[in-house]
């Protein structure tokens, strides 16, 4: 099976960063060469690359590519000049899209790392550059390993929960997922789709339903593409069919990704996630979030503070070929994300374990982070 790769990276020198242009999927596979932060900013803003982990990695590696190909540090007069450059470029990259916290965490981590490397005894511009490039590369590798671990934790948690609810421990799971959280949204394997893959790998997946994910169709274009690629038993449903599917008892568990999880467990994810969670609760189906710890935002007390990206009205008024499909003159509200309250979430699956819901319906995200490094 050929690997689905959203991000192709060679550290070099020369370094090379290629991003799969997801706007053209599923019909065309075209990679864009990205030389530095400006090209990456546009690729993120214009949705050539998307998905919370993939955005952060693409931003960091664009900076790394520019540093390596610009001279590996020789282009800077001092360690502090590299540090300033890293700070400036990451502050710029973080303005591309606001909701996913992964990118701003990457900004904080790389800025802090550059400052530390620049103040180390004997630091040179080359040593600071090397430290930053190494950290960007490590981000890519850690994401793949983390997603595999998340998949295992998630598969186990879902099977245990369904058994506790009275299903046979041998019965395979019928899962429902939203948006795209797979190899295309991460370095590889995926978060929520990684959990689905992990269920399949242990022979515990009966079927997976993926929503269309209007208006940008990440489900029908990207998740469906990944599921067909993997040969998993899968069915595409319109977003508006999900309630009927749940009410018909055809889903055992819902699992989606996240763009930002607040300290109390409130979770921002692709628009439509909230409706799925409400419907799942109404139908007695457990609803899970799968997200790396990098998507946890302990500094945000609850979901009411999460910035929600509003996207172009044309995503609703025009079809993919640019033809007008909505009545001319109609006003449009097109939020890219919504916030699901913690109380609707059964568990938050991370690469370090599952955060369990407390008695009061919230999650102790800060406590989990403190006890899991
Ligand atoms: O607008 P997108 O396609 O970047 O939105 C993506 C999502 O909402 C995903 O569910 C989320 O980023 C998790 S990806 C592992």
Nearest CA to ligand 1 atom 10: 257
- What per-residue confidence (pLDDT) applies to 358? 98
Which of 22, 45, 100 has most ligand 1 atoms within 8 Å of its beta carbon, as the pocket-test mutant?
100
Residue 259 Cβ < 6 Å to ligand 1? yes
Give the Å distance between the CA of 252 and the centre of ligand 1.
Answer: 23
Instruction: List the structure tokens of 33.
Output: 């060469």
- What per-residue confidence (pLDDT) applies to 97? 96
Q: In sequence order, which residues have a C-beta less than 8 Å from that of residue 108 and are 6 or more positions away?
A: none
Q: Which residue has the tokens 């973080």?
A: 94
Residue range 222-255, pLDDT digits in tens: 999 999 999 999 999 999 999 999 999 999 999 9
Q: Cα–Cα distance between 243 and 222 in angstroms, integer?
A: 22
Residue 179 Cβ < 6 Å to ligand 1? yes
Residue 191 Cβ < 6 Å to ligand 1? yes
Residues labelled catalytic: 259
- What per-residue confidence (pLDDT) applies to 72? 86
Q: Cα–Cα distance between 98 and 306 in angstroms, integer?
A: 9
Q: Is 28 exposed, middle or buried (0-12, 13-18, 19+ CB in 10 A)?
A: exposed
Instruction: List the structure tokens of 199.
Output: 């269920």
Q: In sequence order, which residues have a C-beta less than 8 Å from that of residue 368 and are 6 or more positions away?
A: 296, 350, 352, 353, 355
Angle, helices 79-93/37-45, rounded to nearest 10 degrees:
10
DSSP string of 159-190, one letter each residue: HHHHHHTT--TTSPEEEEE-S--STTTSSSS-
Give the Å distance between the CA of 364 and the centre of ligand 1.
Answer: 23
Give the Å distance between the CA of 100 and the centre of ligand 1.
Answer: 8
Residue 100 Cβ < 6 Å to ligand 1? yes
Residue 111 Cβ < 6 Å to ligand 1? no
Low-confidence ranges of the chain (pLDDT < 50): none
Which of 6, 150, 185 has most ligand 1 atoms within 8 Å of its beta carbon, as the pocket-test mutant?
185
Three-state DSSP class for residue 325: coil
Residue 213 Cβ < 6 Å to ligand 1? no
Nearest CA to ligand 1 atom 6: 51
Give the Å distance between the CA of 371 and the centre of ligand 1.
Answer: 27
Give the Å distance between the CA of 228 and the centre of ligand 1.
Answer: 20
Closest CA to 257 of 191, 174, 354, 349: 191
Q: What is the mean pLDDT of the chain?
A: 97
Residue range 110-146, pLDDT digits in tens: 999 999 999 999 999 999 999 999 999 999 999 999 9
- What per-residue confidence (pLDDT) applies to 153? 98
């Amino acid at each position: 099976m050929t690997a689905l790769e959203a991000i192709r990276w060679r550290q070099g020198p020369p370094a090379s960063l290629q991003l799969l242009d997801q706007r053209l999927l599923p019909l065309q596979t075209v990679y864009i060469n990205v030389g530095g932060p400006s090209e990456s900013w546009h690729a993120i803003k214009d949705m050539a690359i998307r998905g919370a982990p993939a955005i952060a990695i693409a931003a960091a590696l664009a900076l790394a590519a520019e540093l390596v190909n610009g001279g590996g540090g020789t282009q800077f007069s001092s360690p502090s000049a590299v540090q300033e450059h890293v700070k400036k470029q990451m502050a710029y990259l973080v303005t591309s899209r606001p909701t996913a916290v992964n990118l701003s965490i990457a900004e904080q981590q790389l800025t802090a790392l550059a400052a530390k490397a620049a103040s180390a005894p004997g630091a040179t511009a080359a040593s600071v550059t090397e430290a930053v490039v190494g950290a960007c590369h490590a981000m890519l590798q850690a994401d793949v390993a983390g997603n595999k671990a998340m998949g295992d934790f998630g598969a186990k948690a879902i099977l245990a929960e369904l058994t506790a609810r009275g299903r046979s421990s041998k019965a395979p799971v019928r899962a429902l997922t939203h948006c795209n959280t797979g190899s295309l949204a991460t370095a590889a394997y995926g978060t929520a789709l990684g959990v689905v893959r992990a269920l399949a790998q242990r022979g515990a997946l009966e079927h997976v339903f993926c929503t269309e994910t209007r208006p940008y169709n990440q489900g029908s274009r990207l998740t469906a593409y990944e599921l067909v690629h993997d040969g998993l038993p899968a069915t595409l449903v319109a977003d508006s069919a999900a309630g009927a599917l749940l009410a018909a008892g055809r889903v055992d568990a819902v699992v989606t990704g996240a763009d930002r999880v607040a300290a109390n467990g409130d979770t921002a994810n692709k628009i439509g996630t909230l409706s799925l969670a409400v419907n799942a609760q109404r139908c007695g189906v457990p609803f899970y979030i799968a997200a790396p710890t990098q998507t946890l935002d302990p500094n945000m007390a609850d979901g009411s503070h999460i910035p929600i990206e509003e996207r172009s009205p044309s995503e609703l008024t025009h079809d993919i070929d640019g033809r007008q499909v909505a009545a001319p003159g109609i006003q449009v509200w097109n939020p890219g994300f919504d916030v699901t309250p913690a109380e609707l979430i059964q568990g938050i699956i991370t690469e370090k374990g599952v955060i369990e819901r407390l008695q009061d319906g919230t999650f102790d995200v800060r406590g989990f982070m403190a006890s899991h490094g």
